[in-house]
Amino acid sequence: MLAEFVISFLNTVGAAFALVGSIGLAQLLDFFTRLHDPTKATTLGVGSINVAALVGSSVANGKVSPRELAISLFLFITAPISAHLLGKAALKVRGRSINPRQKSN
């Protein structure tokens, strides 16, 4: 009963973070704010859903699954690195408009 509550709570929190990150991606205008919101909020959302899967599999099997641990590790390592590289690439193209709603000169 407690495990089901924890899993449901983590899935709800994860879905809320993923929704906020997706809305932020669609609504924000500047490239850097569009980059910041999905990398933070969506990473927390997917991470929370993955922790819920980890709790569910450990309750069902009686041991911690290395698959969910590997997915969490990969997620939390690659998301900041990819955001950093995208930010550096955006700084190199300063002369051009990177706002999709703004016309470039």
Using the predicted structure, report yes or no on whether residue 101 has a pLDDT greater than 80: no
Output phi, psi for 102, to 5 deg. -115, 135
Residue 64 and residue 55 in contact, taking contact as beta carbons nearer than 8 Å: no
pLDDT confidence of residue 8: 95
pLDDT confidence of residue 103: 57
Residue 51 and residue 75 in contact, taking contact as beta carbons nearer than 8 Å: no
Domain positions in the chain: 2-92
CA distance 74 to 55: 18
For residue 64 the two structure tokens come to 């911690």
- pTM attached to this predicted model: 0.75
Average pLDDT in the 37-51 region? 86
Q: What is the pLDDT of residues 18-42, one digit of tens each?
A: 898 888 888 888 888 788 877 888 8
Average pLDDT in the 63-78 region? 86
pLDDT confidence of residue 34: 81
pLDDT confidence of residue 52: 93
